[in-house]
Amino acid sequence: MREVAGFDPEMKDRIAECDGGGAIAGTRYAGRQEFTGRLTGEYVDHGDPPWRWYLLSGLTKKPDNYPDEAVWCEQGNLWLMGEGSGGHKA
């Protein structure tokens, strides 16, 4: 699969929320997961046509027992927060 990394300075340090699916530990089921944090500006485009994924770090909201302090969020599931964003999708 094609993968291209990049950096978007306009996304750096923006507060954002994202959601996605993830496995529920100890089961064969998946559920929705919600995250809030600060975008680093880093992204990776996967596939052809590309799907853009942004890195969200410094998580202030994450699922219980989520072990990491960062998560990759697909652009379509990413909501910008704070002044001037109007809560719009990225």
- The pTM (predicted TM-score) of the whole model is 0.83
Q: What is the mean pLDDT of the chain?
A: 88
Burial of 45 (0-12, 13-18, 19+ CB in 10 A): middle
Block means of pLDDT (10 residues each) for the chain, length 90 residues? 91 94 79 93 92 95 89 93 65
Contact 41, 7 (CB under 8 A): yes
Contact 76, 88 (CB under 8 A): no
Structural domain spans, the chain: 3-80
Distance (Å, whole) CA 39 – CA 23: 24
The amino acid present at 24, given as its one-letter code, is I
Burial of 74 (0-12, 13-18, 19+ CB in 10 A): middle
